[in-house]
Amino acid sequence: MKEINYRFLFFVISIVLGLGYFLGSLTQSLPDFSVYTNVKEKKEAFFSFMLPLVNEKNLDIRKEREFLLLMREKKGIAFSSNERRKIEKLSTKYGLGELDTETRELSLLLNRVDEIPVSMVLAQAAIESAWGTSRFARDANNLFGQWCYEKGCGLVPLRRNPGSKHEVKKFDSVEDAIEEYLHNLNTNNAYNYLREVRKNLRHNNQILSGNKLAEGLLNYSEMREKYIEEVRAVIRINKLDKHDTK
């Protein structure tokens, strides 16, 4: 029987534990916002927590978009194999499948690969999660009300209608919830109009306004027009439009 090399075993365990600690530090745990009794302080704490996470995920999308814009500017110059693979990967990621890499079709992809206004993200997170205090926010890191349909994929709503099978999706981290929310708005056909509004703002070199893109949230909630009004009210009352950029 071979003698166990305890020194090597200890080294391997240390590496694994260290890696786990490092990866865990990359995600942020949702603070307990229920401890705030002052509404203003709760809002400030919520926005302070969410803002850098939203900016980080939007930055990831911006980098993808900048690559596609660069490819569109090549105008007849053949793409390299690496560039073509990257375009194909983004096309699949954003729900367009196989994509002809002509300029016109790159524009179709660019219409999906774009940022969501920070003001609107923060407003929806506040509404959907009750400022980070809802059961779904606390127990599932779900701040945007995303649903899933496989049994056990999330938390069962207490007031779910008889016969309904949806659950409120559970996420490993708040960052994952933000990422899926952004991807949903960028790919789901229910938000085609939202993306059209954004495209027009881009065409006119205007700020990506959460107040304007909120018009495309008609299908986000059963409240329909009233939901859009509520999102715009949260943006206005909390002056969130200061976070919006071109």
CB atoms within 10 A of CB 173: 16
pTM of model > 0.75:
yes
Most confident of 102-111, 161-170, 198-207: 198-207
| Residues 123, 68: Cα–Cα separation, whole Å | 29
Q: Does the 33-243 domain belong in CATH 1.10.530.10? A: yes
Confidence of residue 17 (pLDDT cuts 50, 70, 90): very low
pLDDT tens-digit readout, 78-95: 889 999 999 999 999 999
Question: Which residue in the block uniquely carries the two structure tokens 């939007």?
Answer: 58
Confidence of residue 173 (pLDDT cuts 50, 70, 90): very high
| Residues 229, 180: Cα–Cα separation, whole Å | 24
Q: Which residues pair with 176 in a beta bridge?
A: none
Question: How many Cα atoms occupy the beta-carbon half-sphere of 219 within 13 Å?
Answer: 10
pLDDT tens-digit readout, 154-163: 888 888 788 7
Please answer whether residues 218 and 228 qualify as being in contact, where contact means their C-beta atoms are separated by less than 8 angstroms: yes
Confidence of residue 219 (pLDDT cuts 50, 70, 90): very high
| Residues 171, 140: Cα–Cα separation, whole Å | 6
Please answer whether residues 34 and 105 qualify as being in contact, where contact means their C-beta atoms are separated by less than 8 angstroms: no
Residue 161 one-letter amino acid: N
| Residues 168, 183: Cα–Cα separation, whole Å | 17
